[in-house]
Amino acid sequence: MVMTDFFDYCCDACGAPFCERTHIMNMALGLIDVECCLPCLASQYQRTEAEMAAFCYGYVQARDCFLEPWNKFNASGCPKQPEQTCHCQQPAEVA
């Protein structure tokens, strides 16, 4: 994927760009010094990307310090939306 103005961060594991919401997921997981894109996070936690996004979103929803910046971020311009590979829009619930 090409780096666009939408992505402000790069994965420390693979170099892929990621957005503010994935950055918030990293912070919610306590990953401050080394931040990863969603595919790398999912791999580290042995989950699918959708499962990882839903897991993190559940945590984010319960904490205003994460929820406020999550909600302020305008994710509507995500270049992954046409491919339907953005799991940061409305993460699916995981059973």
Tens of pLDDT, residues 45-76: 999 998 999 999 999 999 999 999 999 988 87
Residue 63 lies in a domain: yes
Average pLDDT over the chain, rounded to whole? 85
| Domain region containing 33 | 9-77
Residue 36 has pLDDT above 50, yes or no: yes
- Distances 81 to 11, 29, 34, 75 between C-alpha atoms, Å: 19, 24, 26, 9
* Number of Cβ within a 10 Å radius of residue 88: 23
Q: Based on the number of CB atoms within 10 Å of its own CB, is 91 exposed (0-12), middle (13-18) or buried (19 or more)?
A: buried
Of the pLDDT bands very low, low, confident and very high (cuts 50, 70, 90), residue 4 is: low
Indicate the pairing of strand 9-10 with strand 17-18.
Answer: antiparallel
Residue 93 lies in a domain: no
Domain count, the chain: 1
Q: Is the overall model pTM greater than 0.85, yes or no?
A: no
